[in-house]
Structure 1
Amino acid sequence: MASKNQVPCGPCSFDDVTKDAGKWCTDCEEGLCEDCENSHRKSKILRNHKVISIDDYRKIENISISQVCEYHGESLEWFCKSHDEALCVVCVPSKHKTCSDVIPISVALSNARQSTALSDLEDAIETTLLNVTKCIINRESATNDLEKQELTVKNMILETRAKVNLHLDKLEERLLRELREIADSCKSKYNKFLRNLKATEEKLNKLKEQTRHMKLFSSDIQVFLGTRQINGQINSEVESIKSDICATKDYEFKVSMHSLITKLSNEVEEFGQIKMSEFDAKLYFTDAKIDQAQIGINDKTSRNISNIKLQPIKTFQMQNKMEMNITGCIILPNGNLCMACYTRANTLIEYSDAGDHIRNIPVYSKPYDIAVIDLSRIAVTYGEASILEIMNNSTFKVEKKIRLQHSCMGVSHENGRLYVISGYDTVHVLDLSGTQLKILKISSDTILHITTSKDKIYYTDYKSNKVHCCSLNGEELWQLHCDCLRFPKCVTVDNYNNAYVVGYISNNLIIIQHDGKENKTLLTKSDGLNFSNAIFYDKHTRTLLICNEKGFVMMYKVV
């Protein structure tokens, strides 16, 4: 009896027998139990069918690919190369009877897995995914920037309010101090006059008492003379009082507020205005090459180097207190630049594409080269330390550490495999778990850098001044020796397999045709190349990144 969520065996189900399938035939599109699989394999007409495990079937069961004509309901058995269209037996005579290149679909699909169309489709998905990822990163970054701007404006408002409060407090304190000083001065004058009056009052009361006693008890002559003497004192006090009265002022306090203060409280109706400017986001969508699943038909895979030019984007000098020896560089999926500095500082250095230093990333040892694996991972080699690390390209947390027997110099990634120069004369091919798949022996022992592109390996021999191109199995396809190129260091390739090589001693950049037959110089020392050590081509943005040994960085758009 078939279990729940299991795939039933198709032939058994036809006989009303329920059994679990252990395999799946992609041609018959049905499950097979063990017995039916054996019968299926023994049948001459069925034995070439592709049979996969149920686990693998689960990975493709939701992929909807119709093998039936949508117009006639018949199986798609023919293919028109002119119209790039799969046909059924009814389509051929009805719509394509004049087409001379209608072939059996079995012939057309013979190279389907190796077709450039499938490769282009994979590249298109990867490119579109990269575009979406970059857009996500850009919008997340924009959101963070917006939050920072909001906080900055908020702090500016609060600081302005605090400054206004502080300034008003100071003005208020100054005005109150002025009021207090004026009032104290006025009260001091009042008090002085008041003291004089009280002293006079006391004198007058005393003279009054003396006059009364004189009248009662003194002799006539004493009264006579005393009257005149006391009268003189009274007249003196009267004159003094009159003089003080004439000099005495009354005061009235009022305040005239500054017009701006009055306006602030009466007329200013808002603290400020929030202004929002709108401009186009710095989002770039790189078009992918989608070929409607054509199988190697009219596919443009090459470009003549005579038409290739470089447009300057940005140049800057890396600012760092430590010693510089840049030996590797990449453009990260988020658009930032990452450089390997082969010194005892043991750091990778991250910059923005605008030339702003972001951070130094501490790593295991002296990093020699870097390669992009996918949207979230990079590979880093550590030269004589004989170590290669796979790490997250956002957090730079190490996900896998791989130890080799010999030095780890140049590194490149292609289709889930790492190609690492080890021991200066061999290329070790590893999967991403670190398992060694093969070793390619190179006919030179002075190799530092390597790059890969689809089905080819490129490397430079700095001693013989040669650039080599070979298959993924190590079979040499071509080599180039150019008198203008001395001490070739790093190599990278574009979307058309044209190679870009920097000459460390010749201080130049040359481009080599994909077949190795032509080359030309693109940049020289006058363009800023001075002991150039590292180069990287971003196939998604068509951007060329070049780094001199001492940290001078150049970015170009390849057009």
Structure 2
Amino acid sequence: MSSKLTVCGVCEYRNINKSSVVWCSECDEGLCEECKEHHAASKGSRDHSIVPISEYQKLPSNILQITQTCPKHNEKYVIFCKKHDSPCCRRCVVETHDDCRELKAIDDVIRNVKSSNAFLEMEQMLAELSENLQRIRKDRQNNIKILKENKTRIEIEIEETRVLIKNHLDKLQESLMKELYAAEEKENKKISRLISSIQEKEREITECQTNLDKIKQYASDLQTFLAMKHIQQDVTNSEQFLEFLWKEAKMSDVTISFKKENVLEALPKAINKIGTIILDTRLSDTTLASRKNKQAQTMVPTTHVSNIDDLKLTLGQTVQTNGKDITGCSLLPDGRMMFACYARGHINVMKTDGSLDFTLQPGLITTNIHFTEESQKLVVTSDRDYSITIIDMKNRKSEKSINVGSHIYGIVYKDGKLFYNASSRGLCVVSLDDDSITQLVNATLSPYSSIAIWSDQLYYINNDDSVTCCDLQGTFK
């Protein structure tokens, strides 16, 4: 495969030996500088995506070896059979899939695969597996530390007991110490073996994450689609490994304690034991991270990409907000609704049946509101006062107010920071640790509009009504 990558396929066909500088995944061959120009100009290939050879070679070897043509007929894949979960060339359809009804054009199946729910789910699964393996490893390492501390403490207790009964108990002490060391060594070995297997899994998951990142950047959609099946199997094996750890009770904490014998009243010759080494096993306090939706997305992306015209809305409920000039709303975890009334400066909290629960009066003209479930705080913006007010919903009292010195409209919370629409001052962020304000994006945002966060991505509306996505550092996506 490496020689195929480094040699221009077009020139090789003409018995000319030239090094390739780019790789076309759709043509499945490398191109030299001259052929690259013809390739870009040709009507049949001008829309093909090319990648520099140096970048394409960063893909894992097993991904580079994935063929994009049918190995049986040496024809390009054009159809995907959902029934058999396999790509097919034109001749495959005729020979073996003639009765299959769920046949989709391969271009429709792989379209947007890198931004599909399945790909996102794969990234999340790998991140979760890596996090869980790290948690278990750290927990087991901490158990070794506890065992060592237990051993140190018990050594002191044993020594103090030995002093009380003098030389007669020296031999018993030696026997008991051996029992203690043996117990600790035995459990250490068991835990160390488990940690070794966990570290191996961590390396596998890290490699999968690295490969997935490279696939996302450099692999073709078809390569990505086919490679995800291999990675899915690795993920499934790792999840089964985690389940095995729990079911086999390998996550139980082991501690050592010491129980003294009642030796003070006994005659020295009658004493044959001064204590007992006890291994106390209990379930570890460590918890595993778990996605809310444990069912992985299917590895076959939907063949139809929905757009706004496909959405069908069904009226669920009509609520009288009891307010005027409603400019903001937020939902509470229990289903209650909050509405900000701009003109009156009130915030009406409505029950799930639509009736009024109570009214907050923060004492300012309210523009927008945002409830943070993590801290049970309500964030209120006031465009007229250029301020952000934080209300503790437990006691319904204002906690503090931050003057941002500019227009302020939509607002969201993430990791101790408030991101807000400052209109002509762009997208800004205020840290709740020190109330410092930073301009994240220097652009004019649409006034009165909201902003949103999803999967660590920020979305905001520009002054021309276009929508922009950036990361939490303001980098354009």
Same fold by TM-score, threshold 0.5 exceeded?
Answer: no
Higher Rg:
1
- TM-score normalised to the size of structure 2? 0.39
